[in-house]
Structure 1
Amino acid sequence: MKARTFERHQIKILLIEDESGRASSIEPILIRYGFSSSILDDNIINFSSLIETYDPNLMIIIFFEKNTFNILLEDRFLNLPILVILNELGQEVFDIGNKHPRSLFLIEPIDEHTLLSSLNLLLSRKLYGFLEVIDSKQHRIKLNFDKILLIEADGNYTRTITTDKVYVRKITLKNVKNELDSSFVQINKSQIINIDFIDKLDLANGVVILKGKKLKISKVFKANLDFTLL
């Protein structure tokens, strides 16, 4: 397995291929459109560690191996957009890939316009107007963004708070951020708020009132609100 990262405007793409060298047709396109590349450490051979170490905004995988893709079906990776490029797509592969809510499959050969359109589609957060959470019966449900007031970190878990319920999910706040759109802003190291529910904002004193609840804005994240509400 070979891996390389590409970065442009804070978008980090993790490109992983097998030993076939098929990424040679993809890499020039990414570079042509302004992505810079870096070869990843060959010592990182564990797939999940690779993802966690380089924390990409999107992955391009140019091979399909069942056990590898099953790792991407873990809760912690379900928010990660994945573009899988294959030379053929069988029913078994399609069924497995279809379990990931943010995956897209392309069949070779592909041109650069198809590639870039696919990347834009996967990176368009507004296409995902919901957050997957776990209810009290351990059922996975899709919670619309407009129902969410606040998301709080609790170690490796998050608490998603609506007007009348709280949902707990085993996922870090850092990973949840990738599932949200521009209505959500992080205000401190442990809280992300939905700005549509702001009652009062006092940036001078670092305070926001959200549906009657007073929350503290840390100095590090103050610029997030300042910029978002311009």
Structure 2
Amino acid sequence: MIRYLIIDDEPIAHDIIKGYCDLVPNMKLIKKCYDALDAFEFLNTNEVDLIFLDLNMPVLKGFDFLKTLQNPPKVIITTAYSEFALEGYEYPISDYLLKPFGFERFLKAINKAFSLPNQKTISFENSTISSQIFVQSNKKHIQLEIESILYIEATGNYTKIITSDQTITIREKISAFLELLPKNEFVQTHKSFAVAVKQINSIEGNTIFIATHKIPIGKIYKFNILQLLK
């Protein structure tokens, strides 16, 4: 379960974020805070896994609030001011959502926050949030097990996700989708293909064999394969 906190001085922002979170499984709102001082006091005695943080708030600004936290949870910035994005690189921020943002962009932020390498994952039952991501296909939001992915294939501005039991087509470039996947578990083998390393059955010449599928190895990506074979 991902326990989250909203810090924003605008009630409508609270409604939008909570509405989006209600559509995502395993997310629980812990508290709504309308200023950073209220949040600071709450976090002194309570723990959360994720903060949605506005920047332009009265009394204590968002980045100033972050400076007060010794061990901050994951943070997703939600703001109407794009000029603060560069400053955000100085802080442990998972993503930066520019208002107004839609549900698809919101899902990307959640996926990014809980799929980054070398970061804590939130366990619930027998899985972790980092083992699942949401993808949008034909106006549906599908929860996808990363372990089920065999390989992905670019087709223009779309990407086909081939799993052990289905093929899902999403309107996303392959480079953008790869950013959501664990870096050490997937390798790009061609400008149009990337494979799940543990799904590889064999490699012969310029071809990778996964189940009944043959995936090409591009010239400039051979180094990636050589690194696997070391």
Report the TM-score, using the length of structure 1 for normalisation.
Answer: 0.50
Report the TM-score, using the length of structure 2 for normalisation.
Answer: 0.50
